[in-house]
């Protein structure tokens, strides 16, 4: 059982929904990023998604693209992202960390080496947005064998024919993308998302978490109310981009987490 599995079992037992927060590793710099990541559990974050900076992030909107650019310009690398997770783990051995990004840096390092290093750093799961199920032998199946969850995205365009393929080797949770398009664009609508979540849950026992288009405590509550939890990324990253101090970022994240936990 991974930390992700344990966290969702604990939430289910207490009748709570999950709040997942995304931040870009190394944004605006390594030290501030580590400080922010360390502050998230106290804000009520159940799962941390740690963005891996990449030069060509095709699924990300401008907010997260710019965060990745800032991180790369500050010297952030895959190794430093793993170092950040290692530092976080010195004080927190329970909050799950999911690394989210693209396959290039992992391929460049070598899958076996990367998986061993990720496991040692305390990474619990991976969301690699440019590896479809057809490429499962590449990383997904080796990751599962190494004891990491491989979390897949489902979208409004994932029809009933495609869905079983998407769910086939997924573990940890399913990440439902609430809108078509890029991160940080339109606002998620619970009325639209509800039937889609129900459709996915009819095909899997995994928790279904909804992300993209959630910026307020009210939306976090509404979305968590029809799913197993909510993810917020761009709205948090925007606060960091504005130069807000860590305690202000933490206070904002807490309002979102409280919203999701009210559901």
Q: What is the pLDDT of residue 224?
A: 97
Tens-place pLDDT, residues 243-253: 999 999 999 99
What does residue 189 show for φ and ψ, rounded to 5 degrees? -120, 120
Q: What is the pLDDT of residue 184?
A: 57
Question: Of 261, 262, 256, which is closest to residue 23 (Cα–Cα)?
Answer: 256
pTM of the predicted protein model: 0.96
Of the candidates 46, 49, 124, 196, the residue annotated as catalytic is 49
Question: Of 137, 172, 130, 177, which is closest to residue 155 (Cα–Cα)?
Answer: 177
Q: What is the pLDDT of residue 243?
A: 97
Tens-place pLDDT, residues 204-238: 999 999 999 899 999 999 999 999 999 999 999 99
Does the annotation count 60 as an active-site position?
yes
Of the candidates 60, 124, 136, 221, the residue annotated as catalytic is 60
CB 228 within 8 Å of CB 208: yes
pLDDT beneath 50: ranges in the chain: none
Q: What is the pLDDT of residue 160?
A: 95
Q: What is the pLDDT of residue 187?
A: 77
Does the annotation count 49 as an active-site position?
yes
């Amino acid at each position: 059982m991974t930390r992700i599995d344990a966290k969702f079992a604990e939430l289910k037992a207490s009748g709570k929904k999950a709040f997942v927060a995304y931040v870009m590793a190394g944004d605006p710099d390594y030290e501030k990023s580590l400080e922010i990541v360390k502050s998230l559990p106290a804000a009520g974050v159940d799962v941390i998604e740690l963005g891996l900076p990449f030069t060509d992030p095709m699924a990300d909107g401008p907010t997260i693209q710019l965060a990745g650019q800032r991180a790369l310009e500050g010297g952030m690398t895959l190794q430093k992202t793993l170092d950040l997770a290692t530092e976080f783990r010195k004080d927190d051995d329970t909050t799950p960390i999911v690394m989210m990004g693209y396959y290039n840096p992992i391929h460049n390092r070598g899958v076996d080496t990367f998986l061993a290093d990720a496991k040692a750093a305390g990474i619990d799961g991976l969301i690699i947005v440019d590896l479809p199920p057809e490429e499962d032998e590449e990383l997904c199946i080796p990751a599962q064998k190494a004891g990491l969850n491989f979390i897949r995205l489902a979208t409004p365009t994932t029809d009933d024919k495609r869905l079983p393929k998407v769910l086939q080797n997924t573990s940890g949770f399913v990440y439902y993308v609430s809108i078509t398009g890029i991160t940080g664009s339109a606002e998620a609508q619970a009325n639209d998302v509800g039937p889609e979540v129900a459709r996915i849950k009819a095909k899997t026992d995994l928790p279904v978490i909804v992300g993209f288009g959630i910026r307020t405590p009210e939306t976090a509550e509404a979305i968590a109310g029809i799913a197993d939890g909510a993810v917020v990324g761009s709205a948090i990253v925007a606060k960091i981009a504005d130069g807000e101090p860590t305690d202000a970022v933490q206070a904002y994240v807490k309002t979102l987490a409280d919203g999701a936990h009210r559901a």
